[in-house]
Amino acid sequence: MAFVSPEDKFGIQLQSRGTPRTLEQNFSMIAGIVYIVGGIVGFFITGFGSITEMTNHSLFGIFMLNPFHNIVHLGIGAFWLLGAFALTAAGNEGLNIAIGGVYTLATVIGFLGYLSLLSIPGGLAGDNFLHLVTAALTLIFGTGLLRALGGRQVATA
């Protein structure tokens, strides 16, 4: 059986070593580190019991936590780091669009009160605003939108 590269098997081109990092990849690296650190710190606050129960554990007194919420943050952070270090610039932008979409959806269903599995209350909770900011930053900095706007020349008369 012959060895098949990930590019051939899955159609995903991996980043080559000499390629300079883009703004989008740097954003993914920073966001991934922040979310992984947040997930790890969350376990110090919540412990490992009551995985999906609504708890009164909070980070900074604003963001509600439970162990499942911490696991989700670790997973999202790992995806961001994968995009930053393994995927090409285009692959990373696609990943950021997907993550931005997930956080947009999390914002909407969080405000509606359907994220109690993650110990997030409905309405005007800190987590829902954090999801909104995360979605906006990911879609702005992580998708090439700034590059597209910066490259456009405005004609003056």
- Do the Cβ atoms of 59 and 65 come closer than 8 Å? yes
Give the pLDDT of residue 157: 47
Give the pLDDT of residue 53: 67
Q: How far apart are the first and last CA of the chain?
A: 65
Q: What is the pLDDT of residues 68-122, one digit of tens each?
A: 888 889 999 999 999 888 888 888 888 999 999 999 998 999 888 887 666 666 6
For residue 58, the 8-state DSSP code is: E
Question: How would you classify the pairing of strands 63-64 and 58-59?
Answer: antiparallel
For 92, other C-beta atoms within 10 Å of its C-beta total 28
Give the pLDDT of residue 64: 73
DSSP character string of 14-37? BPPTTSPPPHHHHHHHHHHHHHHH
Q: What is the pLDDT of residues 128-143, one digit of tens each?
A: 898 899 999 999 888 8
Beta bridge pairs of residue 14? 87
